[in-house]
């Protein structure tokens, strides 16, 4: 494990760069993704990585993947509610039945497409 937290952060940044943020890449895919962006400095940081650093990276990638899957499921549900071209997204959402409207609005907030104003 790398000692100083700044150095460890750099090691994790370089390792994350290699994976392209995707935990399921094969070694060949990771090399293909990373070869475009890796610098010599990145390679030096990667050589400093220990087993605990790799475990932390894998845990972060798993959380990131779960978050991405959840967000995509939310987007798919929203698209199912608003799939027809009957006006703008606002018009399609407000035209939904009550339960679907509530779910669609909740999904819009979850995706960060709508944010509360300061008054709220």
Instruction: List, for residues 31-45, the tens digit of each pLDDT value.
Output: 677 777 788 888 888
* Percent of the chain whose predicted confidence (pLDDT) is above 70: 90
Q: Say if CB 11 and CB 49 are below 8 A apart.
A: yes
Give 3's pLDDT tier (boundaries 50, 70, 90).
Answer: low
Average pLDDT for 76-97: 85
Rounded distance between C-alpha atoms, residue 62 and residue 6, angstroms: 22
Given a cut of 80, whether residue 21 has pLDDT beyond it is no
Return the biggest CA–CA distance within the chain: 58
Q: Regarding predicted confidence, which is higher, 85 or 70?
A: 70
Average pLDDT, the chain: 83
Neighbours of 104 (CB within 10 A): 19
């Amino acid at each position: 494990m790398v000692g100083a937290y700044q150095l460890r952060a750099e090691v994790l940044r370089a390792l994350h760069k290699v994976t392209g943020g995707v935990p399921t890449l094969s070694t060949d895919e990771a090399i293909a993704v990373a070869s475009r962006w890796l610098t010599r400095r990145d390679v030096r940081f990667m050589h400093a990585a220990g087993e605990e650093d790799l475990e932390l990276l894998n845990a972060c990638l798993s959380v990131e993947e779960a978050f991405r899957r959840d967000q995509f499921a939310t987007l798919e549900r929203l698209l199912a509610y608003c799939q027809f071209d009957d006006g703008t997204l606002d018009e399609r959402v407000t035209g939904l039945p009550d339960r679907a409207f509530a779910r669609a609005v909740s999904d819009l907030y979850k995706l960060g497409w709508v944010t509360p104003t300061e008054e709220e």
